[in-house]
């Protein structure tokens, strides 16, 4: 499944990139009220969010591909050089855990992001985006299958949640912070560490509750919290080599911190109204 998830994640990223480019071009060319619509805050906000989502998808995809490559390399060494199997066993297990967490996490994020990016692409085009004269509607249709085949988004959550509750995600975040030079963005690191504390606090609460239905109910929120923090860290690492990426990281993290805190408050507050009421509501 790792290869299939990576393949679809890459496909979704490509579709999102194409949709962004179409929307950006149209927003520059379309004149309303005497100026290009890209100059209006509602439009450039959408374009900014689209661009950040595409870049988040790409950096997450590359990092996940690295884990899968290492996993397969160590497996190959163990298989073809039995005398080295014991030597590589620890690293092979480590990268297997990371690959098993990150491939569903990446497919979930990238395909959902592609759906949102292509949706906003049509929105920027207005009514013309719904027509076949533009590529915007095709990108939206192409993106729609990505979070369905090779495992729906709901199944990606099921596949990823074990790596969240077992501590694999938390260990990765801790190790990444310890091993990466963030001297170029110390203020941002402080914000991400705050989000990390909120994530860890939420995990502790979930373990205290020890109710399978509650864990399942909150699984997607937990996976999205971890994904948000990971993407923030990857953006910050990338920013060491690009001043522009600092701006990307700043903008992403400003909203990420709020999302993580909101999810924490929802989970830690033992919100279970839906679990109590869903049968009467839908039945």
3-state SS, residue 35: strand
- Check pLDDT > 90 for residue 119: yes
- Check pLDDT > 80 for residue 246: yes
Q: Do residue 130 and residue 174 come from a single domain? A: no
pLDDT (tens digit per residue) in 156-190:
999 999 999 999 999 999 999 999 999 999 999 99
**Number of domains the chain contains:** 2
Q: Do residue 43 and residue 105 come from a single domain? A: yes
In a domain, 259, yes or no: yes
Q: For residue 126, is it left (φ>0), alpha (ψ between -120 and 50) or beta?
A: left
In this prediction, residue 210 carries a pLDDT of: 78
Q: Do residue 130 and residue 247 come from a single domain? A: no
Q: Do residue 232 and residue 148 come from a single domain? A: no
Q: Which residues contact 2 (CB under 8 A, 6 or more apart)?
A: 68, 71, 99, 100, 103
Q: Do residue 195 and residue 133 come from a single domain? A: no
In this prediction, residue 180 carries a pLDDT of: 97
Q: Which domain holds residue 123?
A: 2-152
Residue pair 23/47 in contact by the 8 Å Cβ criterion: yes
Closest CA to 227 of 167, 160, 176: 160
- Check pLDDT > 70 for residue 97: yes
In this prediction, residue 95 carries a pLDDT of: 96
Q: Do residue 132 and residue 222 come from a single domain? A: no
Q: Can you spell out the DSSP letters for 48-89?
A: HHHHHHHHHHHHHHHHHHHHHHHHHHHHHHHHH-GGGHHHHH
Q: Do residue 35 and residue 69 come from a single domain? A: yes
3-state SS, residue 156: helix
Q: Do residue 139 and residue 172 come from a single domain? A: no
Expressed in percent and rounded to 5, the helix, strand and coil fractions of the chain are: 85, 0, 10
Q: Do residue 29 and residue 135 come from a single domain? A: yes
In a domain, 160, yes or no: no
Query: Tokens at residue 197, please?
Result: 């504390």
pLDDT (tens digit per residue) in 219-236:
999 999 999 999 999 999
* DSSP structural state of residue 239: G
Determine the average pLDDT of the residues in 113-126: 98
In this prediction, residue 271 carries a pLDDT of: 66
Candidates 17, 112, 150, 224; catalytic one: 150
- Quick count: other Cβ atoms within 10 Å of Cβ 223? 25
Q: Do residue 213 and residue 248 come from a single domain? A: yes
- Check pLDDT > 80 for residue 78: yes
In this prediction, residue 20 carries a pLDDT of: 99
Q: Do residue 202 and residue 137 come from a single domain? A: no
Q: What is the CATH number of the domain that holds 101?
A: 1.20.140.10
Backbone φ, ψ for residue 32 (5° rounding): -140, 135
Backbone φ, ψ for residue 210 (5° rounding): 50, 45
In a domain, 280, yes or no: no
| 109-113, 269-273, 279-283, range with the lowest pLDDT | 269-273
Determine the average pLDDT of the residues in 96-109: 98
Instruction: Please work out, in degrees rounded to the nearest 5, the angle formed at the alpha carbon of residue 259 by the alpha carbons of 44 and 4.
Output: 85
pLDDT (tens digit per residue) in 14-29:
999 999 999 999 999 9
Q: Do residue 195 and residue 93 come from a single domain? A: no
- Check pLDDT > 70 for residue 111: yes
- Check pLDDT > 70 for residue 277: yes
Determine the average pLDDT of the residues in 227-248: 97
In a domain, 247, yes or no: yes
Domain C-terminal end among 152, 181, 215: 152
Task: Answer yes or no: 271 catalytic.
Answer: no
């Amino acid at each position: 499944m790792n290869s299939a998830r990576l393949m679809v994640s890459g496909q979704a990223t490509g579709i999102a990139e194409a949709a962004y480019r179409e929307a950006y071009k149209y927003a520059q060319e379309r004149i309303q009220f005497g100026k290009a619509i890209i100059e209006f805050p509602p439009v450039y906000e959408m374009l900014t969010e689209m661009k950040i989502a595409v870049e988040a998808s790409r950096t997450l995809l590359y990092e996940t591909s690295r884990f899968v490559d290492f996993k397969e390399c160590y497996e190959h060494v163990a298989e073809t050089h039995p005398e080295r199997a014991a030597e590589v066993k620890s690293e092979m297990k480590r990268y297997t855990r990371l690959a098993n967490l990150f491939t569903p996490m990446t497919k979930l994020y990238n395909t959902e992001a592609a759906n949102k990016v292509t949706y906003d692409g049509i929105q920027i085009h207005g009514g013309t985006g719904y027509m076949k004269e533009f590529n915007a509607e095709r990108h939206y249709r192409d993106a729609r299958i990505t979070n369905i085949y090779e495992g729906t988004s709901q199944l990606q959550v099921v596949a990823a949640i074990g790596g969240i509750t077992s501590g694999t995600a938390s260990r990765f975040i801790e190790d990444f912070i310890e091993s990466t030079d963030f001297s170029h963005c110390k203020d941002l690191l402080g914000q991400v560490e705050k989000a990390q504390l909120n994530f860890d606090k939420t995990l502790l609460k979930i373990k205290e509750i020890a109710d399978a239905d509650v864990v399942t109910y909150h699984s997607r929120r937990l996976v999205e919290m971890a994904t948000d923090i990971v993407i923030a860290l990857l953006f910050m690492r990338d920013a060491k080599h690009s001043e522009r990426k600092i701006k990307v990281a700043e903008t992403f993290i400003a909203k990420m911190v709020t999302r993580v805190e909101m999810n924490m408050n929802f989970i830690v507050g033992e919100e279970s109204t839906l679990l109590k009421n869903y049968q009467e509501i839908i039945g």
